[in-house]
Amino acid sequence: MLVSMSMIFSALSDPASVLGWWLLVFLLVAIVPQGILTAWFVQLMRSKSQAYAARVGIREQSAGVPAEVVLCLRGCDPTLKQVFESLARQRYNHWRLRVVVDSKTDTAWSVATATVAQLTKDQRPSWRKVTIEPLAQRPTEGSLKCASLRQVLQTLDPQTQVVALIDADCIVSDQWLLSLVDECLQPGVGAVSGNRWYEPVGNSLTGTVRAIWNAGAIVQMTAFGIPWGGSLAVRRDALEACRWVDVLRTTLCEDTSLISPLTQAGWRYCFVPPLLAIDEDDAILIAPLTRWISRQLLTARLHHPLWPLVAAHGLFTSAVLAAAVIFCAVAIVFSNWPGLALVASSLAAYEAISVLLVLVIKQSAARAVAVVQTNLRPLSSGQVFRWILLLPLTQIVYAVAIVSSLQARSIEWRGITYRITRFSGRLGVSSNASPAASLEQAVAQVHG
Q: What is the pLDDT of residue 335?
A: 86
Beta strands in 82-217 (DSSP E): 95-101, 129-134, 162-166, 189-193, 196-198
How distant, in Å, are the alpha carbons of 61, 119, 199 from that of 202?
A: 41, 30, 9
Contacts of 314 (CB under 8 A, 6+ apart): 297, 398, 399, 402
Q: What is the pLDDT of residue 3?
A: 44
Q: Tell me, what DSSP letter sits at residue 102?
A: S
Report pLDDT digits (tens) over 6-15. 444 454 456 5
- What three-state secondary structure class fits 425? coil
Report pLDDT digits (tens) over 264-277. 999 999 999 999 99
Q: What is the pLDDT of residue 359?
A: 96
Q: What is the pLDDT of residue 436?
A: 43
Q: What is the pLDDT of residue 443?
A: 46
Q: What is the pLDDT of residue 182?
A: 96
Q: How many whole angstroms separate alpha carbon 10 and alpha carbon 29?
A: 26
Q: What is the pLDDT of residue 189?
A: 97
Q: How many whole angstroms separate alpha carbon 275 and alpha carbon 258?
A: 19
Instruction: Show the low-confidence residues of the chain (pLDDT under 70).
Output: 1-16, 433-448
Q: What is the pLDDT of residue 447?
A: 46
Is pTM beyond 0.85? Reply is yes
User: What would the CATH number be for the domain defined by 1-448?
Assistant: 3.90.550.10
Long-range pairs for 115-119: beta carbons < 8 A, 24 or more residues apart: 115/80, 115/81, 115/84, 115/85, 116/84, 119/84, 119/85, 119/88
- What three-state secondary structure class fits 270? strand
